[in-house]
Amino acid sequence: MSFTLAKTERLAAILAQVPVIPVLTFNDVQSGVETAKALRDGGLTVLEITMRTPQALDVLTAIVNEVEGVTVGAGTILEPEHVQKAIAAGAAFLVSPGSSSRLLAAGGEAPIPYLPGCSTASEAMHLAERGVTFAKFFPAGPAGGAPFLKSLVAPLPELHFVPTGGIDMGNVRDYLAIKNVVCCGGSWVAPQQAIESGDWAAIKALASEASALKAR
């Protein structure tokens, strides 16, 4: 496994682009493309497409090919074979909700950056031992929220987190104010109802509000 400096720096550059990374699930390609355009126009240029639907890989490829100015990652990577499929679809980075030895090996050897997940201090320590610098903290709210992440700053200063799960405009600033948080993941910027109704203006407005936030 190899979490190389070059890939870590590439991941750092991606995560630094936005205060919020939209976490998106789509059932059809066109909705995905239009949502990506609205989010981009609102200032959110890094997207995570979750691999939770049969159409996910097609949506990811379509956004990569049709929407300029966005960096698209594949989320909900659960198995080593998901890594290769996401890369083939055009993903620029990989995200998993947790981590396993097999997945860490596959993600570490991938040619694109990988953001593994954790939800406890022990899991965070395990990732740090494997050379991980950036980790997804999921599910952020149920796992302890902003106070938990703040408590990890002193004992694990080398780790930086992307909290995701249970975050919205009501609490996102609490996370972004923490020293070891680089950005947050969230689905509130593209509500499913807005996607289904084609309300791209609403999604753009939510993205504009979120893109104006700043991490510490």
Identify the CATH number of the domain in which residue 167 sits: 3.20.20.70
In a domain, 192, yes or no: yes
Give the tens place of pLDDT for each residue, 186-202.
999 999 999 999 999 99
Helix (H, G, I), strand (E, B) or coil at 74: strand
Give the tens place of pLDDT for each residue, 1-54.
478 899 999 999 999 999 999 999 999 999 999 999 999 999 999 999 999 999
pLDDT value of position 61 = 98
In a domain, 33, yes or no: yes
The proportion of the chain whose per-residue pLDDT surpasses 70, expressed as a percent, equals 99
Which amino acids are annotated catalytic? 48, 136
10 Å CB burial of residue 75 (0-12, 13-18, 19+) is: buried
Question: Rounded to the nearest 5°, which phi and psi values hold at 185?
Answer: -105, 145
Number of domains the chain is built from: 1
pLDDT value of position 216 = 54
Structural domain of residue 138, as residue ranges? 5-211
Segment holding 73, helix H or strand E: strand 71-75
Give the tens place of pLDDT for each residue, 60-111.
999 999 999 999 999 999 999 999 999 999 999 999 999 999 999 999 999 9
In a domain, 216, yes or no: no
In a domain, 25, yes or no: yes
Name the one residue in this structure whose structure tokens are 């590439």: 10
